[in-house]
Amino acid sequence: DRIASVVFLVLGILIVVESQKISESAYGSQIGPSAFPFALGIILIGLSILLFIETIRHHAMYKIVQDKEVPKLSTYKPFIIIFLSAIAYVALLDKLGYLITTFAFLLISFQALERGKWVSSILVAAAFSAFIYFGFVNVLGGSLPKFPL
């Protein structure tokens, strides 16, 4: 966990530095295209610092368990499903628009992590997609890929 926190800290710093190199113009948007990567970089830095502090504070509580068995495919299945759906999300974002692809990605991810609970998965995925789209486009004046219609 400590190593991961340091890696994420370096990645967050790299994202913040590189986001400042992004050009200022963005399809008529009032906020620059560097705002979102910059904010994500700051969040990643903060979370990695919290993770580092947490691992140091609770080091005595963690036990290192070395398991000699090879993990089963079922332990990797949710990761593989989410990873493949993320690739599909990127590939289909411009073709299907933000709302449809984000809703589908979130629904697939929720079901990969916890099967069942279709109603809550659909409601959360739809609410999150709509809230972010409305907030970014109408409140912040940004632009996201629209419906293909």
* 49-75 pLDDT, tens digit each: 998 888 887 765 555 544 455 566 667
- Mean pLDDT for 2-30 is 78
- The residue written with tokens 């050009």 in the block is 23
Long-range contacts of 76-84 (CB under 8 A, 24+ apart): 77/112, 78/112, 78/113, 81/108, 81/109, 81/112, 82/108, 82/109, 82/112, 82/113
- Mean pLDDT for 84-105 is 87
* Cα separation, 102 vs 125, whole angstroms: 8
How far, in whole angstroms, is CA 70 from its chain's centroid? 29
Please give the structure tokens belonging to residue 70: 């090879």
Please give the structure tokens belonging to residue 4: 């991961």
The per-residue pLDDT of the chain, averaged, comes to 80
CA distances from 11 to 5, 38, 127 (A): 10, 12, 30
Residue 1 identity: D
Give the count of beta carbons closer than 10 Å to the beta carbon of residue 38: 18
pLDDT reading at 23 higher than 80: no
* Cα separation, 46 vs 81, whole angstroms: 28
Is 0.75 topped by the overall pTM? no
Give me the pLDDT at residue 73, please: 65
Contact 126, 98 (CB under 8 A): no
